Amino acid sequence: MEDHPFSGKVGDRITLHITDVAFGGEGVGRHEGFVVFVPFVITGETVLAEIEEIHRQYARARLVEIIDPATSRVEPQCPQYTVCGGCQYQHMAYDQQLVVKHKQVCDLFERIGGQRPDRVRPVVACPTPYAYRNRIMVRTQFNRETRSMNVGYLRHQSRLVVDVESCPIAEPELNERLQDVRKDPPRKNGIKFTLRAMPEDWALPPDSFFQVNFHQLPQMIQVVAERLHSAGVQHLIDAYCGVGFFSLSLADKVQRFTGVEVDKRAIEAARKNAETMGHENGTFIEGTTEAHIQDLVDAYDPSQTAVILDPPRKGCHPSILEVLIQAKPKQIIYVSCHPATLSRDIKTLCESGCFEVHQIIPLDMFPQTQHVECVTDIRLKQS
């Protein structure tokens, strides 16, 4: 058996120069040529780190000390930062977070999707980098040391719950409700529950999907509307439509639209939202996108049709992409919070020879965290 290429062992402390911040939030350094990942650092910093895991091609370490800090390093607003697993970038000035996310999106689209980095526009900044989350998942766990119930989030790289008195990235309304829960916590161990602020002017069932950042929604709709307008289409298919956020926000931009969603209560809410908003130029269908996509694309002239895809993090089922490749709609607007699966699906569409990427627009829907939303404008190639 070959000797491990890393000369150190778990528990060793090493000095690292950080050369990058990888997708997922960990900094990248090298020790004797061997890749070491360490969290809560910034490109250009020199740090002291302690090895915690050694694998065949990389090691992981915990941050011990910042030897030479970056000028963009700031004081985190959360006292539980680095302990709680919710945020990865509070130690970075917000402008630096946007730079990091832009580079990560460029790297992923080039490496996985085969796209040129110049297709990626600058990240659209969030007007409220803190106090923006309208939904949080809170857990309980009995703390044997304090003989009390921890109420909060999972710890960084752990299944243990860290006690959280207040969350700086949550809407103030949710922090008020969190205080109520903490005053009278559930008595059972291992309970998890969602605290949620509901959007104004939208019918939304308690468990149905809605974007987690109300403050960034105007920018998101503006981006999608601009891309839709530039394609000059008349018909819109809104796949994975939820309560109709995209199709109803864009209803006055097209002649007809159809939304499809598997969540029965969400579809009922979408129909109610359409009635409330006075939009009569579209319909909503209950069911999976896989089951209905063929009928939807057959119903409209493809040369005048745009398809919005906003799937779960796992991306689109291959059968959906195959139907779109065969149907050849003029435009596909793919919205995703997971650039890796988005890049994979874009590669499938573009390798068909039918489509090409016009623009990739990242939006910072999740400041202080590793996550980033992308709106990708994909067009049918001109013959």
Q: 319 and 238 in one domain? A: yes
Q: 189 and 114 in one domain? A: no
Domain containing 23 equals: 1-72
* Beta-carbon count within 10 A of 65 CB: 11
CB distance 153 to 84 below 8 Å:
yes
How high is the pLDDT of residue 4? 52
How high is the pLDDT of residue 144? 87
Q: 290 and 252 in one domain? A: yes
Q: What are phi and psi of 46, to 5 degrees?
A: -110, 130
How high is the pLDDT of residue 1? 37
* Beta-carbon count within 10 A of 122 CB: 11
Total length of the chain? 383
How high is the pLDDT of residue 39? 98
Q: 219 and 152 in one domain? A: no
CATH code at position 182: 2.40.50.1070
CB distance 141 to 190 below 8 Å:
yes
**Is residue 205 one of the residues assigned to a domain?**
no
Nearest to 210 by CA among 238, 237, 246: 246
Catalytic pick among 337, 350, 354, 374: 337
How high is the pLDDT of residue 18? 99
**Is residue 313 one of the residues assigned to a domain?**
yes
Q: 315 and 174 in one domain? A: no
How high is the pLDDT of residue 170? 98
How high is the pLDDT of residue 189? 86
Give the residues of the chain that fall short of pLDDT 70. Answer: 1-4, 383
337 among known catalytic residues: yes
β-bridge partners, 256: 235
Q: 291 and 371 in one domain? A: yes
Record the pTM: 0.94
How many Å apart are CA 138 and CA 153, to the nearest integer? 6
Number of domains within the chain: 3
Q: 252 and 145 in one domain? A: no
Q: 14 and 161 in one domain? A: no
Nearest to 14 by CA among 52, 60, 50: 50
Q: 316 and 250 in one domain? A: yes
CATH code at position 225: 3.40.50.150
How high is the pLDDT of residue 373? 98
